[in-house]
């Protein structure tokens, strides 16, 4: 039997452990949400130069987002959507091959596909820019500062997310269903369409979503690859901050958070994205 003294020593330690966990959770929530709340609060300041406390509040900064950043927003959306589409076309078959087949060089191919996650964006952007300039000097093709180079660079950083999350979706699925369908006479394309792709639907959706966010929000790599007249939203915001400090940038940040958060909630109702990401 457990002695009374042992029980008395045990309960205070458990209580202290629970309070410590609660304190850490509260600190994590504060770190995540306090900056967001302050950004929302800042976005309604009626001040052209940020001062605290503000003299009044307004929502006029939200109305200025499209006139000020409309062109950059359009470029970011087009590049991100193109990068997502190409990443899905390349990443989904690559994930299926890595998860369901054993072949020579499989480990090297997996490392190569996931390598951009470990390389700083500045190094990737500088390397692509130098490569584009060298090709342009030898072929006179206008590559540097072009949309194709920008899309290709964003595919490079978006593809690892598609491959990684699709691999995670297939790792949680037993291949017995695919083998059963094949043994019953289903051709390979039908097994792929009716069994494999539905099984990895959560990974595909999660990969597309993360690829879009990574591409849309990228700044450090894109700095090397844009040209006059072709600016993405993060770079346009950075250039705006060089000359003006007002709540407009806070309003842009709030709109981005609301749109991304809404997309996450909507997709999580349709597809259990959280299970794949976890």
pLDDT by residue, tens only, the chain of 278 residues: 455 555 455 556 667 777 888 888 888 888 888 888 888 888 888 877 777 777 788 888 888 888 888 888 899 999 999 999 999 999 998 888 888 778 787 788 888 888 888 888 888 888 888 888 888 888 877 777 788 889 999 999 999 999 988 888 887 776 766 767 777 677 777 777 777 778 788 888 888 888 998 998 888 888 888 877 788 888 888 888 888 878 888 888 888 888 888 877 777 776 665 555 55
Is 0.85 surpassed by the pTM of this model? no
* Cis peptide bond N-terminal to 53, omega within 30: yes
What is the Rg, in whole angstroms, of the alpha carbon atoms belonging to the chain? 25
Paired with 45 in beta bridges are 57
Distance CA 78, CA 72 (A): 10
């Amino acid at each position: 039997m457990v002695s009374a003294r042992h029980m008395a020593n045990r309960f205070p330690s458990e209580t202290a452990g629970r309070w410590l966990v609660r304190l850490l959770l509260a600190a994590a929530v504060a770190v995540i949400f306090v900056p967001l709340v302050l950004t929302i609060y800042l976005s309604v300041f009626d001040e052209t130069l940020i001062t605290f406390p503000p003299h009044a509040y307004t929502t006029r900064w939200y109305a200025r987002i499209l006139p000020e950043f409309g062109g950059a927003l359009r470029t970011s959306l087009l590049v991100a959507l193109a990068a997502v589409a190409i990443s899905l076309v390349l990443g989904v078959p690559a994930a299926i091959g890595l998860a369901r087949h054993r072949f020579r060089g499989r480990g090297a191919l997996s490392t190569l596909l996931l390598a951009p996650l470990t390389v700083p964006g500045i190094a990737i952007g500088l390397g692509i820019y130098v490569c584009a300039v060298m090709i342009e000097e030898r072929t006179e093709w206008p590559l540097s500062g072009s949309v194709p180079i920008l899309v290709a660079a964003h595919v490079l950083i978006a593809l690892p997310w598609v491959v990684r999350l699709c691999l995670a979706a297939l790792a949680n699925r037993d291949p017995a269903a695919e083998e059963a369908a094949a043994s019953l006479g289903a051709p390979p394309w039908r097994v792929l369409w009716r069994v494999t792709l539905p099984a990895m639907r959560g990974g595909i959706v999660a990969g597309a979503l993360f690829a879009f966010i990574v591409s849309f929000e990228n700044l450090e790599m894109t700095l090397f690859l844009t040209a006059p007249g072709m600016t993405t939203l993060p770079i346009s915001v950075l250039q705006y901050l060089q000359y003006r400090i007002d709540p407009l940038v806070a309003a842009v940040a709030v709109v981005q958070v609301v749109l991304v958060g809404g997309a996450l909630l909507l997709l999580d109702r349709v597809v259990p994205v959280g299970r794949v990401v976890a």
